[in-house]
Structure 1
Amino acid sequence: MNNWLRASWPTLAIMLGASVWGMIWYPLRMLAALGVTGTAAGALTSGAGCLFVLLVRYRSIATVRWHWLLPALALAAGVTNLGFVWGSIHGQVMRVLLLFYLTPAWTALFAHFILRERLTWAAAGLAALSLAGAMTMLWSPQLGVPLPGNLAEWAGLVGGMGFAMSNVLILKTSRVLPDMKGEMRTATIFGGAALFSACASFFEAMPAPPTGAHLGTAALLVLGLGFLLASNNMLVQYGVARIPANRASIIMLFEIVITALSAWLFAGETPGPREWAGGACIVLASALSSWVHRTKAKPIGEAPPGAALGDDREARGQDGPRAMV
């Protein structure tokens, strides 16, 4: 029994992490209702998360050396974070998340140019499957060309591109800077998200800021979210380091289930047939993408579980560290 429980901890850690990411949109909307805009919420919560990582794991971060990949990774993480946060606050959560999850399409493209990976027929097919899912979800006779219908959906789409770029750059970083600790990548991601959102906040109309009791509630939410997201990130990294990568990515798709349930319960959002059909294509492409990358990236028996926290995992574009989602 004890051995079974010990073997189950990594799976439970990933499921818990996916559940947190699937529900994080709700406290973000609470912040928006208190007068904290999406850009400000992204900056404040990511800044709190970065501070938490720096305080808790500062010894792992102190020895890092400078490289141009660090600001590039920070910028990609900033786009990822802002796209998801702003989109989930202002749009239909499930549609924004599904557009965000077009990762296989963008990962295949970015890996081809940045990592010099050959674009295989399998990768091209998975990219086409995910894009077909998006077209199914977005198409309607009234709207014509299947494009995102509002700024929130565009934000989710661009955020997903940033997520794919982040994963590719994380793999590039692990190759160029093999001695870099995972905590440094996490701090870079959170710090980049905070700086990018802070700069973007100057271009968003600011409502009346929270005052009095609302100010205290907003401050507690920001600090709580920062602590939660940083802890959740490290929890998920614990899980994905200890189970096969293809299995971990399937478990991570639990996030979409939690998002659908929470959007239905708290926002009254019920996906229609086109959303379900398109979402099924996107989820299937994400799941198959992890399996394809896993089987091609590493021969059986090359390394024990957890020997390299990140290389093939980030390459497949599914469960690398994330600043917000």
Structure 2
Amino acid sequence: MNQRLKNTLPTLAIMLGASVWGVIWYPMRMLAALGLSGTAASATTSAAACLFVLALRRHAIRTVSWHWLLAALAFAAGVTNIGFVWGAIHGQVMRVLLLFYLTPAWTAVFAHFILHERLTRSGVALAGLSLAGAMTMLWSPELGMPLPANLAEWAGLMAGMGFAMSNVLIVKICRVLPDMKAEMRTATIFGGAAIVAAFATLFEAMPTPPAASQMGTVVFIVIGLGVVLASNNMLVQVGLAKVPANRASIIMLFELVVTALSAWAFAGEVPGPREWAGGACIVVACVLSSWVHRDRAPVGPLEALQPIDPADPLKEPSGDASAKKKSQRAMV
């Protein structure tokens, strides 16, 4: 029973993380209602998350060394964060999230040019299936071309591209900077999100600031979201260290279920037949992508996020990547 529980906990950690991401849009809308714009909310919550990670895992800061890839990761993470938050605040949450999940298409392209992975027929087919799902969801006789209908949906699409680029860059960073701790990649992601969002606030109309009587509530939500996001990220990484990458990426699709339920419960948004059909194509593409890449040797986006065991900072991450390193050392 203890062994079964031990095997189940990592899966539950990933599902919990997906659940948090599936409802995080609602407190962001609360901040917007209180007078904090989407870009400002993204900047402040990301800054709080970054500071929390740096304070909690400060011993890992010494493993960071400058490389242009870190700046690229920070920018890609910033585009991801601000696109998702702004889109979820101003658009229909489920449609924004489905456009966000077009990652198989963008990942195949980015990995080809950045990681020099051969663009296989299966990769092209999966990318086509994802895009077909998006076209099914977006097509309407009245609107003509199957393109995002508003800025919120374009933001969700850009966020998905940024997320795919972030995953590819994490793989690249793991190869170029193998000694850098996973916590510092997390801090880089949140730090980049804070900087990009803060810069974006300079180009938007100044909203009515929160009233003085509501400032305490705003600060509480911002700090709370920062701590939750950072803790959730590290919790999920613990789960990713114990679960095979292909299975973990399928478990993460639980976010779509939670988002659909939360959007229905909190915002009264009910997906129509086209959203369900298009979303089904996108989900199937994600599942098949995990299955197709199950035997690949290089470190994948989820494997790249394997953290150092909090209980033993000197212990290597578990999983196939660690086993291969040990095997290589034994051969030498």
Q: Tell me, yes or no, whether TM beats 0.5.
A: yes
Matching of residues 79-94 of structure 1 within 5 Å: 79-94=79-94
Partner residue in 1 for 2:319: 306
Q: Is contact 2:69-2:173 (8 Å) kept?
A: yes
| SS at 2:104 equivalent | helix
Matching of residues 8-19 of structure 1 within 5 Å: 8-19=8-19
Aligned-residue offset at 1:211: 2.1
> What do the CA deviations read for 1:160-191 (whole angstroms, capped 9, x no partner)?
00000000000000011111110110000000
Q: Is contact 1:243-1:305 (8 Å) kept?
A: no
Taking the aligned partners of 1:212 and 1:219, their CA distance within structure 2 comes to 11
Query: Which structure has more RCO (C-alpha within 8 Å, separation ≥ 6)?
Result: 1
Partner residue in 2 for 1:168: 168
Q: Name the aligned partner's letter for residue 306 of structure 1.
A: G
Matching of residues 181-260 of structure 1 within 5 Å: 181-260=181-260
Taking the aligned partners of 1:215 and 1:236, their CA distance within structure 2 comes to 31
Taking the aligned partners of 1:233 and 1:262, their CA distance within structure 2 comes to 20
Partner residue in 2 for 1:317: none
Change in CA separation of 1:62 and 1:279 when aligned onto 2, cut-off 3 Å: same
Partner residue in 2 for 1:320: none
Q: Is contact 1:84-1:159 (8 Å) kept?
A: yes
Partner residue in 2 for 1:61: 61
Taking the aligned partners of 1:126 and 1:304, their CA distance within structure 2 comes to 30
Aligned-residue offset at 1:272: 0.4
Partner residue in 1 for 2:287: 287
Aligned-residue offset at 1:290: 1.6
Q: Determine what percentage of the aligned residue pairs are the same residue.
A: 74
Taking the aligned partners of 1:14 and 1:206, their CA distance within structure 2 comes to 38
Q: Is contact 1:103-1:161 (8 Å) kept?
A: yes
Q: Name the aligned partner's letter for residue 184 of structure 2.
A: M
Q: Is contact 1:241-1:308 (8 Å) kept?
A: no
Aligned-residue offset at 1:206: 1.9
Change in CA separation of 1:304 and 1:167 when aligned onto 2, cut-off 3 Å: closer
Change in CA separation of 1:225 and 1:304 when aligned onto 2, cut-off 3 Å: closer
| SS at 1:295 equivalent | coil
RMSD: 1.6
Partner residue in 1 for 2:271: 271
Aligned-residue offset at 1:112: 0.6
- Count how many residue pairs are aligned between Structure 1 and Structure 2: 307
Taking the aligned partners of 1:212 and 1:64, their CA distance within structure 2 comes to 40
Normalising by structure 1, what TM-score? 0.92
Taking the aligned partners of 1:280 and 1:96, their CA distance within structure 2 comes to 15
Q: Name the aligned partner's letter for residue 215 of structure 2.
A: L
Normalising by structure 2, what TM-score? 0.90
Q: Name the aligned partner's letter for residue 40 of structure 1.
A: A
Q: Which runs of 5+ in 2 are unaligned?
A: 300-315, 325-332
Taking the aligned partners of 2:205 and 2:124, their CA distance within structure 1 comes to 40
Taking the aligned partners of 2:11 and 2:89, their CA distance within structure 1 comes to 29
Taking the aligned partners of 1:298 and 1:32, their CA distance within structure 2 comes to 42
Q: Which runs of 5+ in 1 are unaligned?
A: 312-325
